[in-house]
Amino acid sequence: MPRITQHTEARVTDRKRMVNADIFFSESAVCDIIAHADKGASENAEVMGLLAGRVHRDEKGTYAVVERTVTSGLLSDAVSVRFDHSDMGTLFDALDDLDFEYVIVGWYHSHLGIGCFMSDTDAATHGSAFSDDTGFALVIDPIREELKVFKSSKDGPKEASMVIMDDHTQMA
């Protein structure tokens, strides 16, 4: 995965969260991830993509809001996935097409029937792209119908609390 420089340059804005969670997802972003993972599963392949949104801060610390996801061509099989470096133009075009001021707050990928956890490879990938404490990794297993989010910590990725926002509620 390419190093995500925009992330560390994130402009953090003050906004009090309504409930205490580490990360909030728009309903449409989660639907896109589920559809992508289902399509991958039908081809017996893992999928991945990036989580675009914003980082906010309140008295409890920082938290992220994911508005949209982006992806590109992938090199994947049933147990691994990575971006196809020959297709990075698609990824950057998708980022350019986002019509709001975003930062990359994390990434997602799927597991096929083995449950949601961060493997050693996943943790290494995460650490190379997100070195500070506001990078998130969503893992979805479309076969077991499970979904979990992990956040960076000194001891490696640990499970984070997430909230899915109804697209009609004004939160972000």
Nearer to Zn ion, 67 or 122 (CB): 122
Nearer to Zn ion, 63 or 108 (CB): 108
Nearer to Zn ion, 12 or 124 (CB): 124
Asked if 141 is part of the footprint of Zn ion (rule: CB under 5 A), the reply reads no
Nearer to Zn ion, 40 or 56 (CB): 40
Cβ-based neighbour number of residue 35 at 10 Å: 12
Distances (CA, A) of 161 to 6, 19, 25, 97, 133: 23, 11, 11, 29, 14
Nearer to Zn ion, 38 or 172 (CB): 38
Closest CB 135 distance from Zn ion, rounded Å = 15
Query: Amino acid identity of 161?
Result: S
Closest to 49 (Cα-Cα) out of 33, 61, 62: 33
Q: Which of residues 115-134 bind Zn ion (CB under 5 A)?
A: 119, 122
Give the whole-angstrom CA distance, residue 25 versus residue 66: 5
Closest CB 171 distance from Zn ion, rounded Å = 29
**Per rule CB under 5 A, count of chain residues that contact Zn ion:** 2
Residue nearest Zn ion (C-beta atom): 122
Give the whole-angstrom CA distance, residue 138 versus residue 142: 13
Closest CB 154 distance from Zn ion, rounded Å = 21
Closest CB 119 distance from Zn ion, rounded Å = 5
Query: Is residue 110 packed enough to be buried (19+ CB in 10 Å), middle (13-18) or exposed (0-12)?
Result: buried
Give the whole-angstrom CA distance, residue 37 versus residue 86: 22
Closest CB 139 distance from Zn ion, rounded Å = 6
Q: Which residues bind Zn ion (CB under 5 A)?
A: 119, 122
